Amino acid sequence: MEFRVLGPLEVRHAGTAVPLGGPRQRAVLAALLLHANEVVTAQRLAEAVWEAPTASPESNLRTYVAGLRSRLRRAGADDSRLVTETGGYLVRVSPGELDVETFHRLVDTARQAQSTADFARAARCYQDALRLWRGAPLDGLPVGAGLWAELARLAEHRLTAIDQHAEARLALGEHDGVISELRRVVLQHPLHENLWARLMLALCGAGRTAEALQTFQDARRVLRDQLGAEPGSELQELHRRILRREPPEIPAGPRAEPATAPRQLPSDVRGFAGRADELARLDAVLADAGEQSTAVAVCAVSGTAGVGKTTLAVHWAHRIARRFPDGQLYVNLRGFDPAESPVDPAQAVRGFLEALGVPPRRLPADRDAQVSLYRSLLAGTRTLVVLDNARDAAQVRPLLPGSAGCLVVVTSRTDLSALAVTEGADLITLEVLTADEARRVLSRRLGADRVGAEPDAVDEIIARCTGLPLALAVVAARAAGHPRRPLAALAAELREAAGSLDMFEGLDTATDVRAVLSWSYRTLGTPSARLFRLLGLHAGPDLTVPAAASLSGVPVPVARRLLTELNQAHLVTEHLPGRYAMHDLLRAHAAELAGTTDTEAERGAALRRILDHYLHTAHTADRLLEPHRDPLRLDAAPTDVVRTELTDPRQAMTWFRAERRSLLAAVDQATDLGMDRHAYELPWTLVTFLDRQGHWHDYLATQQAALGAARQLADRDGEARAHRFIGNALGRLGQDEAADHHLEQALALYAELGDLVGQARARRALCWSAGQRGQHAEALHHSARALELFRAAGHRTGEARALNAVGWYQAMLGEYRSALVHCEQALAIHRELGSRDGEASTLDSVGYIHHRLGDHRRATDCYQRALAIHRELGDRNGEVEALTHLGDTHHAAGDQRAARDAWQRALEILDEISHVDAESIRAKLRKAHASARQGVATR
């Protein structure tokens, strides 16, 4: 069968078109085909098919799927083509049957050929790919918002293929042949500077220099008229080269978008020695990768704990990093961490997307969409990916790039043969060091003279350490700390320690490491040994001096001294200034020691202290970020808990960013340990930070934990708050139906409790949710009810914000006079309370109302005052909103230059923060420039 989506939807069987039914039924099939061979949930299908929510999408979808299945069956397809799976529906397509998959395969092949200068093959593949397009994708079908973004991406992929096809043909000298095609495409897409550059190159190569220079002027005029901007640096440099009669260079392959390449590799190990055979095999993998046409190169390094997998992978990665100019990504997947669960692949992908420059607010909500975006960003790049400490092949697969050019190194304690079967991975099993390699390691760390002076002692040290790199490193660190002590004495201590362990009866190699670490641990003083043990209880990836002071219940200066002692003993690492981390084996050893040395009461007290440290510091930070938020009433911090000193919002935001992973781990730890009060209160302190930073997945997860804790505590008020925050997080993620469900539960609980302020807050949240969907009458109803409740409770801040909301939605419904009364009342209260952010947002509302009433002077004054406050507070979103509305008012008043200036400033901020609203401002600017040109032509 043939399935075609690159144009009007078509299904053909044996050359005959298959009738597919009505438009909605066809749209269901189209949405499934765009995710062929994947299960598509009913919710995603509904978002793809309907522009607005329908009353019973599941019922309609079942009907449409049954109709499609019947029509496909009549055309000769069996029932396995379109099936109902748990959670959704799936359409099965074989290779070569779906035009969009064929398009992507051909483009990938073309890009690979282009990267190796095989321009003839590249041009043929691009041409075959572009011939698959019969028009706009899914032309004529009604589609919902869920498909618009995918169709836009497809159209962008087509433009990129056209651009690269022209580049390949230019490299072949076919200048005359591409000119007419490029002229047609730039007329259809005049804002794509790459296409203008291709046309200039083609004209110049054909000897038509004057036309090439005129083409630059045409491009410049279009960009200035429609965007109010000059051409980019690349186009201008091409123009200068043509003017200077310098032959323009034709790029030899796909270009990466300008961005800061991530450099995430941990530091290399000083004194690395040995592993010559393994390094040679890794080098061979790299050499073979250049001969692969389409496959990504994967190398899996496996071996027992402590054998040096990470050390080898990181050392080799540093050696070859220059071969991967587009960046190096690294993640510790913690597959065998005794204190933490393995990293979810979705979490790792989100971390990579952030490193690749994707703002948190732009991350797709769906895991599959995140993986697709990750692979799209790496397509055509040369990026090195190191996946450290993987649990198994299933944890790795979602993190593999999808195209050639990238190289992946995976380390794991388990056999990863499954990756060799499915991904063609090269496997390297890492054994312990040979005696010669171990001797070189000790020589690099202790000096050749010292090692050469006591050959027998060195031989015994190597034998007792069984060639395990981690054990050798710990012994060498102790020896280096006592340079005058004979190595024979160290060998004797190892001999005594080994006597308590049966190293040769097939025990896990971690036993060997435990013996060496126990010996190293016994050299510590009592205070530092206690801190080392307690560090094994800490759930986060690293910790600060105040956190360590709280964990151990000692003053900050004492904690700093103890951490320095542990750092010198190589039992912790100061991987960033003031931040200390432990290798996972060291953490496991520390936790085991704590379990056997410290009482349950002592361990419980340490855990409560570290959770209190995060709770009270986070509460202080939250109050600095949002001083008008109703505070959470905490019990007083114990005297042996240290809070990090924070004095202003900037410090608070910096602290939250640095501690985010530890704070999230603390929430999980409190939940796992049944410490319900911390599991509820910690998520509350994170709300403002996670919301403002766009970490809405973390916002949702922590509040779900808070909901469970509140239920365990039988805290109905806490349960209501958690439902309200969950609703807010789901709303940010675009899951409106689920959001409203939780908000309604919050409202019901607050009503049951008689909590007027809680009911009002729930109403405000429902108001925002309805407003986001454009349901202004419903939003006004909720805001009016919120106002009544805030007033009844005597809550002045809430009253002011609800008054502003009432006025805003009245204005949305055209009730401007009443809206003005409400907003001016809100403004007076905000000024009375000293709420600067509330004053600014209300000034924006008042300005909008004056604008709609035709009083452009007063509207302008309000917007300018709001703008000044937003800038004072550093509120970029508020600044954009004020500038946008200011531009609207100038435009309505006939001052087109001022309007364009305001919109341009708003656009610059939106582009700087990669905001989704940037395109709407560009549309305003394009329309304004078009009107200006029309006015000039009329005069």
DSSP letter for each residue of 198-219: HHHHHHHHTT-HHHHHHHHHHH
Residue with tokens 């600017």: 925
| Torsion angle of the four alpha carbons 905, 911, 917, 919, in this order, in degrees rounded to the nearest 10 | 90
Residue 668 has pLDDT above 70, yes or no: yes
Per the model's pLDDT, the better-predicted residue between 594 and 286 turns out to be 594
Residue 693 has pLDDT above 80, yes or no: no
- Report residue 497's pLDDT band, with 50, 70 and 90 as the boundaries: low
Domain match, 318 and 384 both: yes
Domain match, 554 and 515 both: no
Within-domain flag for 773: no
- CA–CA separation, 882 and 844 (whole Å): 6
Residue 307 has pLDDT above 90, yes or no: no
- What is the rounded average pLDDT of the residues 20-48? 82
Amino acid 239 reads H
**DSSP string computed for 767-782:** HHHHHHTT-HHHHHHH
- Report residue 519's pLDDT band, with 50, 70 and 90 as the boundaries: low
Side-chain-facing half-sphere of 100: CA atoms under 13 Å: 26
Residue 512 has pLDDT above 50, yes or no: no
- Report residue 189's pLDDT band, with 50, 70 and 90 as the boundaries: confident
Within-domain flag for 853: no
Domain match, 478 and 566 both: no
Q: Report the mean per-residue pLDDT for the chain.
A: 84
Domain match, 105 and 161 both: yes
Residue with tokens 């005129």: 214
Domain match, 322 and 366 both: yes
Within-domain flag for 939: no
Residue 75 has pLDDT above 60, yes or no: yes
Residue 768 has pLDDT above 70, yes or no: yes
Per the model's pLDDT, the better-predicted residue between 878 and 935 turns out to be 878
- DSSP category for residue 330: E
Per the model's pLDDT, the better-predicted residue between 499 and 303 turns out to be 303
| Host domain of residue 496 | 435-522
pLDDT for res 781: 95
pLDDT for res 532: 92
Lowest mean pLDDT among 299-308, 435-444, 766-775: 299-308
- Using one digit for the tens of pLDDT, what is the confidence trace for 642-666? 999 999 888 998 999 999 999 999 9
- How far CA 666 is from CA of 304, 312, 542, 684, 713, in Å, comes to 29, 32, 12, 13, 18
Q: Where are the beta strands (DSSP E) in 728-837?
A: none
- What is the rounded average pLDDT of the residues 93-107? 88
- Report residue 54's pLDDT band, with 50, 70 and 90 as the boundaries: low
Contacts of 750 (CB under 8 A, 6+ apart): 720, 758, 759, 761, 762
Domain match, 544 and 506 both: no
- What is the rounded average pLDDT of the residues 571-581? 85
Residue 250 has pLDDT above 70, yes or no: no
Residue 507 has pLDDT above 80, yes or no: no
**Phi (first) and psi of residue 82, to 5 degrees:** -125, 110
- Using one digit for the tens of pLDDT, what is the confidence trace for 677-688? 999 999 999 998
- CA–CA separation, 709 and 726 (whole Å): 14
- Using one digit for the tens of pLDDT, what is the confidence trace for 605-620? 999 999 999 999 999 9
- CA–CA separation, 454 and 451 (whole Å): 6
Contacts of 262 (CB under 8 A, 6+ apart): 327, 328, 329, 355, 356
Return the percentage of the chain with pLDDT > 90, whole number.
33
- What is the rounded average pLDDT of the residues 25-40? 84
Domain match, 281 and 380 both: yes
Within-domain flag for 782: no
Within-domain flag for 793: no
* Size (the chain), residues: 939
- CA–CA separation, 753 and 525 (whole Å): 55
Per the model's pLDDT, the better-predicted residue between 139 and 521 turns out to be 139
- What is the rounded average pLDDT of the residues 488-496? 81
Point out the domain boundary residue: 485, 504, 522.
522
pLDDT for res 937: 44
- What is the rounded average pLDDT of the residues 389-395? 87
What is the count of structural domains for the chain? 5
| Pair 756, 798: CB distance under 8 Å | no
User: Measuring CA to CA, which residue among 22, 732, 40 is closest to residue 361?
Assistant: 732
User: Measuring CA to CA, which residue among 818, 817, 808, 754 is closest to residue 782?
Assistant: 808
Amino acid 711 reads R
Point out the domain boundary residue: 493, 522, 551.
522
Within-domain flag for 668: no
- According to DSSP, the β-strands at 10-13 and 2-4 are antiparallel
pLDDT for res 197: 86
Within-domain flag for 141: yes
pLDDT for res 848: 93
Domain match, 199 and 315 both: no
Q: Give residue 895's Cα distance to chain centre.
A: 41
Domain match, 504 and 531 both: no
Point out the domain boundary residue: 236, 251, 266.
251
Cα of first residue to Cα of last residue in the chain, in angstroms, is: 60
- Using one digit for the tens of pLDDT, what is the confidence trace for 418-470? 888 888 888 988 887 888 888 988 888 888 888 898 999 989 888 877 777 77
Within-domain flag for 284: yes
CB atoms within 10 A of CB 859: 25
Residue 782 has pLDDT above 90, yes or no: yes
User: Measuring CA to CA, which residue among 230, 226, 231 is closest to residue 924?
Assistant: 226
- CA–CA separation, 496 and 490 (whole Å): 10
- Report residue 933's pLDDT band, with 50, 70 and 90 as the boundaries: low
pLDDT for res 440: 87
Domain match, 231 and 161 both: no
Domain match, 346 and 453 both: no
Burial status of residue 384 (CB atoms within 10 A of its CB: 0-12, 13-18, 19 or more): buried
User: Measuring CA to CA, which residue among 894, 865, 867, 898 is closest to residue 881?
Assistant: 867
pLDDT for res 610: 97
- Using one digit for the tens of pLDDT, what is the confidence trace for 838-859? 898 999 999 999 999 999 999 9
Residue 864 has pLDDT above 50, yes or no: yes
Domain match, 109 and 232 both: no
